[in-house]
Chain A
Amino acid sequence: MKTAVVVFPGSNCDRDLMVALELVTGQAPIPLWHDSNELPEMLDLIALPGGFSHGDYLRSGAIAARAQIMREVMSAAGRGTPVMGICNGFQVLTESGLLPGALMRNAGLDFVCRDVRLEVVNTQTPFTSTYAQGEHITLPVAHHDGNFQADRETLDRLEQQGQIAFRYAEEVNGSARNIAGILNDRRNVLGLMPHPERVVEPAHGGTDGRRMFESLLNVLA
């Protein structure tokens, strides 16, 4: 499985994500610098990591979403290549328009950094097929702007079309309808605030995140 991790100035989870992907796929991911204007051929996954791209200036993810590489990521997503954005990567995906809605300041105004329980809402996706429908898993979050908001029509549509991948099973940041992760309508683009790459081996305190990457491996291998 050939994967790539986009690196923006201020990304800080890119290494963890690359280590996790290599652990699961057995193949080192290709790092892609934000101002490159071409993608390697035949990628099975493009991943956007967490961090504070461009210092979170203007809005979290706003400047990264207009980076040169994002034009390529958007056209790859349009061709059906799986794309996943974690934390700041999710913010980049909403800012780019690949995913609907926006991630706003946490309702409690605090930076939230802890393990949270999540409900797996949709397992019919390349990212979630190793989970059971309705299963509760535990992943860490670490964010200040994770409060997912969209207008009511968009939220209804996300629910009706099975585009909600994960919900928080507890109050975390004020997100509308407890949304923790969403998909595009083709279900090949996933954005989520929690960090699967931080729980991929027992020494991390859990392996619930590893299964997200294993799902991709099962689908694509």
Chain B
Amino acid sequence: MKAHVTVSLKPGVLDPQGRAIHHALEGLGFGQVSDVRVGKVIELDVADGTTVAQIEEMARKLLANTVIENFRVDLG
């Protein structure tokens, strides 16, 4: 079974990488973009029966730094 943990910066946290990507998109002529935020997706192969709560615990303990990041778990 697959689980996906999507980690993203909390709103308001400065994202210099997102800003640089935004700048590059504008340079390519994509003027319709108003903001870019960079996150990551962590794909886990987990045993059947693993619960969302267990994956959330993994996210809180390691996969995300909850000082600056939010996360979302998608299972199955």
**For residue B16, which residues in chain A have a CB less than 8 angstroms away from its CB?**
104-109, 147, 174
* Chain B positions within 8 Å of A150 at CB level: 67
Contact for B62 among A58, A104, A108, A174, CB less than 8 A: A58
Task: Please tell me which one of the listed residues A94, A95, A100, A174 contacts residue B14 in the complex, with CB atoms under 8 A apart.
Answer: A174
Residues of A near any B CB (own CB < 8 A) = 58-59, 62-63, 66, 94-95, 100-102, 104-109, 147, 149-150, 174
Interface of B: prevailing SS: helix
**B residues 18-35 touching A (CB-CB < 8 Å):** 20
Q: Which residues of B contact A94 (CB under 8 A)?
A: 67
Judge whether B13 is part of the interface by a CB distance below 8 angstroms: yes
Chain B contacts of A59 at CB under 8 A? Answer: 65
Q: Say how far A123's CB is from chain B's closest CB, in angstroms.
A: 28
B36 within 8 A of A: no
Residue numbers in A under 8 Å from B67 (CB-CB) = 94, 100-102, 150
Seen from chain B, the residues whose Cβ lies within 8 Å of a Cβ on chain A are: 13-14, 16-17, 20, 61-63, 65, 67-68
Query: Smallest CB-CB separation from A97: which chain B residue?
Result: B67
Minimum Cβ distance to chain B for residue A64 (Å):
12
Identify the interface centre among A63, A147, A149: most chain B CB within 10 Å of its CB: A149
C-alpha gap A147/B63 in the complex (Å): 20
Contact B63 A58 (CB under 8 A): yes
Q: Which residue of B17, B20, B63, B65 contacts A95 across the interface (Cβ within 8 Å)? A: B65
**A-B contacts, 8 listed (Cβ < 8 Å):** A58-B63, A62-B65, A66-B61, A95-B65, A104-B68, A107-B14, A108-B16, A109-B20
A59, A94, A100 interface centre (most CB from chain B within 10 Å): A59
Chain A residues within 8 Å of B20, by CB: 109
Q: Name the B residues within 8 Å of A107 (CB-CB).
A: 14, 16
Looking across the interface, which residue of chain A has its beta carbon closest to that of B68? A102
Beyond A147-B16, A149-B68, 7 extra complex contacts between A and B, CB < 8 Å: A58-B62, A62-B65, A63-B62, A66-B61, A66-B62, A100-B67, A109-B20
Q: Is the CB of A102 within 8 A of B65?
A: yes
Closest chain B residue, CB of each to CB of A59:
B65
Q: Which residues of B contact A100 (CB under 8 A)?
A: 67
Q: In the complex, are the beta carbons of A149 and B65 less than 8 A apart?
A: no
Tell me the bound Cα distance from A149 to B15 in angstroms.
11
Residues on A with beta carbons closer than 8 Å to the beta carbon of B63: 58
Of all chain A residues, which has the CB nearest B62? A66
| Docked CA distance A109–B14 (Å) | 12
Write the nearest CB–CB distance from A40 to chain B, whole angstroms.
Answer: 28
* A147–B68 alpha-carbon span in the complex (Å): 12
CA distance A62 to B60 in the complex (A): 12
**CA–CA, A106 and B15, complex, Å:** 10
Give the top 9 A-B pairs by smallest Cβ distance, nearest first. A102-B67, A102-B68, A107-B16, A109-B16, A105-B16, A109-B20, A102-B65, A59-B65, A105-B17
